[in-house]
Amino acid sequence: MTSIYSKEYKVFLGRLRQARIDAGLTQADAAARLKRPQSFISKCESGERRVDVVELQRFADLYRKNLDYFVAKDIEK
């Protein structure tokens, strides 16, 4: 089965999850701090829900990462 996501977006999803782990947070921890349900974090990390730029800034602030960390600049096409 072919993925509906580009290679770059898959890398973004991996970085989103890794940033949370690096911050020492569970999905439930991150959700509580963002005042969202745990399913929001799960759906964002799995790609079931697209992350908009405002949400990405909130994730970056929470995880103490620059926005550049999440952008897949170094992926071969």
Q: Is the per-residue pLDDT at 1 higher than 90?
A: no
Closest C-alpha to 45, from 66, 64, 65, 26: 26
Q: How far apart are CA 3 and CA 5, in angstroms?
A: 5
pLDDT tens across 40-69, in order?
Answer: 999 999 999 999 999 999 999 999 999 999
Cβ atoms of 77 and 6 closer than 8 Å: no
Q: What local confidence, expressed as pLDDT, does residue 77 receive? A: 44
Query: Please, which residues have CB within 8 angstroms of residue 22's CB and are 6 or more apart in sequence?
Result: 63, 65
Give the domain 23-69 fold.
434 Repressor (Amino-terminal Domain) (1.10.260)
Structural domain boundaries in the chain: 23-69
Output the six-digit token pair for 10.
Answer: 């898959």
Q: How far apart are CA 31 and CA 77, in angstroms?
A: 33
pTM of the model: 0.87
